Every structure is written in structure tokens, then in C-alpha cells.
Amino acid sequence: MSIASLHETRILTGRSMRHILRSPDTIITTAVTPVAMLLLFVYVFGGAINTQTTEPYVNYLLPGILIITIASGVAYTSYRLFLDVRDGLVQRLRAMPISRSSVLWSHVATSLISNLVSMALVLAVALIMGFRTSASFTQWLAVIGLLCLVTLSMTWIAVLAGLSAKSVDGASAFSYPLIFLPFISSAFVPTDSMPAPVAWFAEHQPITAIVESLRALLAQEPVGTNLPIALAWLAAIALLSWGAATRAFRTKISS
């Protein structure tokens, strides 16, 4: 990406962020569902769940809740991009001397910023509920980096959905499977408590490797093979969805 493209991306990101600042309920709404789930599982179901560890259930649960926060947040990226396309931004771009990629990257940057804010709100609630960590500064940087990679990969899926959707509802409906996926992973309960076919799927889908990596980093424990597996999944998802979204955008521009 050239310096001019970076400048254009910064300007368009500022435009998107101003829309969010005029409607801060977007970020608050994104955090409401994960916070409600955090409260429900810790205070209602937590006492009945055996995590096979000595740490508080809020510590065990938080990584999965952060993933759900991201999945909820990227739905707004898809929605905003769909509105841009529907309202004629793509047509106006044809007459403007700006990089086409800057439009997509501005939505990705906006998603990254807004989701970091939403996750900070969820983390604040978790701290009030008793979440504690022995993670070092370096491990916290690794946690933040991994969460940013999750956001990036999910956001490119959202971009593809926003470009492909035929309606506003369709633009955001793609996020439902992403929100549901952590439930079939080790995010809420250990996988060995599940029936064999479900446990096999849970152990081999990307959310489990991501959650286990985050959990190990926050507990200052070895990440083992989970982190390389998580990074491989995220890289593959991001590259595939970026490629598909870029092709879909070029089709929109040329049609």
C-alpha cells in the first residue's frame, strides 16, 4: 500500500469513526450481549460447570466472551459497508482519484478500533467480577496482538458479507454462526465433557486453539501448540476472505 493510499485510508477511517462517535450506542450495544453472557454464565451457570482447573470461572470464560464480542462487533462493519454500496459510494468512487483498496481498509481499521474499545468495556466488567491475571507486559501484548488478528480475520469475512448481501438483514446475519461457534469449543466447558463427535469438532475448529492460547497467556502458562495452530487458522482465514472480498469489490467497481 502506497503512502497516498495510507493517507486516503486514514481520511476514510476518520469518516467512519465520526459516524460511530455520533452514535456511540454502536459500541455499547456490541458490548451489551457479551457482558450479559458473562454475568449469566458466571453467576448462574458457573457453579455447575467443572472446568477441571482451580482458577475462577470468570478467568476461564473471559477469552471466549472476548471472541463473541469481536463477532458481534464485525456485524456493524458489514452493515456500514452495505449501506455505503447501496447509497452510491461505489459509483462516486469511479470519478474520484483515490485508491479503491482504501475504502475497504478504512472499514477494517474502523472495525479494529471500535472492537478494541468494546473489548476494553468487557474486560472492565470482568475485572469488577473478579477476573485477575498474572500475565506479564509481554504476554499482554501477545494477547492484544492475537485479539487484533482475530478481529482482522473476522472483519474481512464481514467485508465480504457486506459486499455480497442483498439486504440490510443479510449483511449482518452472517455474524450469527461466528457468535455461535465459541459455544462448540473449549470457551465455556472443557471439550472432554462433550459427546465424542462434538468433542472432535470442538477440538479441531479454530476457536478452541485461539481460546486456549489466550487462556494460557493470561494465566502465564505455556501456550504449547495452540498458538501456532491459532495463528495458522487466522492467517488462512484472513488471506482467503481478503482475496474474496477484494475480487467482490472489483466486480462492484467494474459493473
Q: Where are the alpha helices (DSSP H) in the chain?
A: 3-22, 25-40, 57-86, 89-93, 100-128, 137-164, 168-173, 175-180, 196-204, 206-218, 226-254
Quick: pLDDT tens for 67-97: 999 999 898 888 888 888 887 776 676 666 6
Residue 241 has pLDDT above 80, yes or no: yes
**CA 148 – CA 150 distance, rounded (Å):** 5
Domain extent, residue 129, equals 3-254
Instruction: Supply the pLDDT for residue 252.
Output: 74
Which position has the higher pLDDT, 103 or 239?
239
- Structural domains counted in the chain: 1
Looking at residues 195-210, what average pLDDT do you find?
Answer: 94
For the chain, give the mean pLDDT. Answer: 87
Q: What is the pTM of this model?
A: 0.91
Residue 64 has pLDDT above 90, yes or no: yes
